[in-house]
Amino acid sequence: MRSFLEIHPNLVSEWSPVNELGPDQVSYGSNKPIIWNGVCGHTWTATPKNRGNNHGCPYCSSNKILVGVNDLASRHPELAKEWSGKNLPAMPQQYGEFSNKPFWWKCSKCGNEWLARIADRSEGHGCPFCVAKSREERWQERRNAKQELLATRRREHLIQVRQQQLTRDLKDSGFRIAVIRYYSALTGFSVVYDQVGHIGIPLQIFFPEKCAAIELTSHLREGWRDWRYENAKNWLCLNSGIKLIRIIPQTGYKFENCKCVRLKNDSVDALNYTLTQVFKRLKIPMDIDVSRDYEKIRRYLAC
């Protein structure tokens, strides 16, 4: 007989002293149940034949359940908490973490119950209701982001269109007049437009209470005749005690007998600057920002 000691000297240290026979007295292929004290600290019963076939501690390999060591409740307390009451009398202490048996689970987050194998749960499969919900939430988030992006693009497009429109409008003296009228109306003083009134010829913008007028003088179309007409207007204002402020082009003729403020170019900054100067000369503080007030000015222009 070839003894267990002879064939497996490396396993002999786990041979429990409580066994009646020693490893030198039992055949290596015996089917006699022997008690083993594993180096892992567990105690179990196995035949020398099985041990010789590389079978180790059944608790460490989860082939057997040892409550408090390798049962589901000990290995995965978080899963044991989700063990449904529907499973009773079965308890999570009775099964290993890799059991293929299906059981009911009650989600600790949403409270829904579903059926799943213990092994699948140990591998990390969670509540199907929560998974579906978070998928739906992710979709919703994506939809929202998409809509927000579209809205932003639409806004940006509108701003771009408005910017182009403003650039076009700034070249138009009719629009400039509308801008001056818009801010004049905001002063709180009464203001009349293009009325003959005081001096016998029309003034573009006239403040009776302030005894002041604003004229926007573009390049004179008919040369000498226009120039004489505008100069006559200056004289009449001067004689009537009306303070006349003219906005003239950067390269335009500078008039006498009135105040002249130059408009440097077609930019919005130039217009803001010039109008601020004009209202300063009228001693009316005015916060002028044509770009900011563009929508309102357009509406004002429309009515």
> What is the binding site for Zn ion (CB under 5 A)?
38, 40, 42, 57, 59-60, 107, 109-110, 127, 129-130
Question: Which residue type does 46 have?
Answer: A
Residue closer to Zn ion (CB basis): 60 or 261: 60
Closest to Zn ion by CB, 61 vs 144, is 61
Select 28 or 59, whichever has its Cβ closest to Zn ion.
59
Give 57 or 288: the residue with its C-beta nearer to Zn ion: 57
Alpha-carbon torsion angle 90, 94, 98, 103, nearest 10: 10
Least distance in angstroms from the C-beta of 139 to Zn ion:
18
Q: How far is the CB of 24 from Zn ion (least distance, A)?
A: 25
**Residue 127 CB, nearest approach to Zn ion (Å):** 3
Q: How far apart are CA 167 and CA 266, in angstroms?
A: 8
Nearest distance, CB of residue 85 and Zn ion, angstroms = 16
Compute, in degrees rounded to 10, the torsion defined by CA atoms 19, 23, 29, 35.
30
- Smallest Cα–Cα separation from 270: which of 194, 170, 166, 197? 170
Of the pair 70, 217, the CB lying nearest Zn ion is at: 70
CB of 300 vs Zn ion, minimal distance in Å: 59
| Total count of residues recorded for the chain | 303
Beta-strand runs (E) in the chain: 34-37, 43-46, 102-106, 113-117, 192-195, 203-207, 212-216, 243-249, 259-263
